[in-house]
């Protein structure tokens, strides 16, 4: 049974500007060390940071919650399998809410161009 879906679109240039202004302070607040390492491996890191930011916001939308409601973006992590397929790994309050709601499966898809990054999340309840 579908619990919720969420979608988000990010302007990568906006992310790039925030990184230029705030550097590690911004990155460490929003992204995990694994995400930062993954994005920095790529020529244009902001594309991949943008996609991960979109994934975090899409998860919140799928849960029906917004920022400032106890879930930290850093607790919503995107990890890639060897094939490249992304998945969400949750910790802290994000993990607790998923358990509380009985969500059994989380599906994530990402796409990006140089300018924009987008994510789609589908939450399933058994």
CB nearer to ligand COA: pick between 63 and 108 = 108
Question: Closer to ligand COA at the Cβ: 94 or 110?
Answer: 110
Let me know: does 71 contact 88? Beta carbons within 8 Å: no
Closest CA to 88 of 99, 97, 76, 96: 76
**Between 3 and 49, CB nearer to ligand COA:** 49
CB of 64 to ligand COA, least distance (A): 24
Which residues of the chain form contacts with ligand COA (CB under 6 A)?
48, 51, 80, 83-86, 110-112
- In the bound state with ligand COA, the residue whose beta carbon lies nearer, of 3 and 38, is 38
User: CB under 8 Å to 58, separation ≥6 — which residues?
Assistant: 6, 7, 8, 108, 119, 120, 121
Question: Least distance to ligand COA from the beta carbon of 96, Å?
Answer: 26
Least distance (Å) between residue 120 CB and ligand COA: 11
- Alpha-carbon distance 87 to 106, whole Å? 8
Shortest distance, CB of residue 119 to ligand COA, whole angstroms? 9
Distance CA 23, CA 40 (A): 13
């Amino acid at each position: 049974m579908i619990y919720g879906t969420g979608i988000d679109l990010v302007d990568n240039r906006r992310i790039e500007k925030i990184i230029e202004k705030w550097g590690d302070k911004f990155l460490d607040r929003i992204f995990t060390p694994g995400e930062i390492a993954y994005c920095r491996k790529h020529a244009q890191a902001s594309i991949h940071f943008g996609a991960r930011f979109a994934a975090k916001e899409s998860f919140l939308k799928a849960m029906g919650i917004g920022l400032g409601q106890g879930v930290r973006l850093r607790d919503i992590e995107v990890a890639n399998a060897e094939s490249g397929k992304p998945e969400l790994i949750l910790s802290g309050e994000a993990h607790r809410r998923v358990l509380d709601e009985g969500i059994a499966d989380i599906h994530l898809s990402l796409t990006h161009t140089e300018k924009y990054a987008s994510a789609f999340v589908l939450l399933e309840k058994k």
